[in-house]
């Protein structure tokens, strides 16, 4: 997360799940990240949250656990 946020000077857009759970597969592990951003990246604020139009309902081919999160750095004009 530090690398991602350090790479931007104004916006970050994440398409991700935002809850903790065990591994669903070898390449999927859900993690809650908004509390981390709030606590560890205080210069960044959640600008917009967009709920997924196709939420996961048991079939990964028809939906996703991820939503869109747009963050903006608050001191980008300085």
Each residue's pLDDT tens digit in the chain (78 positions)?
Answer: 999 999 999 999 999 999 887 666 676 777 899 999 999 999 999 999 999 999 888 887 888 889 999 999 998 655
The overall pTM is greater than 0.85 = no
The predicted structure's pLDDT at residue 18: 93
CA distances from 18 to 33, 66, 73, 77 (A): 6, 7, 20, 29
Q: What is the DSSP letter of 54?
A: S
Q: List the domain boundaries for the chain.
A: 2-73
The predicted structure's pLDDT at residue 20: 80
Closest Cα partner for 34 from 52, 25, 47? 47
What are the φ/ψ torsions at residue 24 (nearest 5 degrees)? -90, -30
């Amino acid at each position: 997360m530090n690398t991602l946020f350090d790479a931007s000077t104004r916006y970050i857009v994440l398409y991700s799940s935002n809850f903790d759970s065990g591994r669903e597969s070898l390449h999927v592990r859900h993690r809650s990240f908004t509390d981390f951003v709030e606590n560890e990246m205080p210069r960044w604020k959640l600008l917009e949250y967009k709920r997924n139009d196709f939420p996961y309902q048991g079939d990964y081919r028809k939906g996703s656990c991820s939503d869109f999160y747009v963050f903006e750095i608050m001191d980008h004009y300085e």
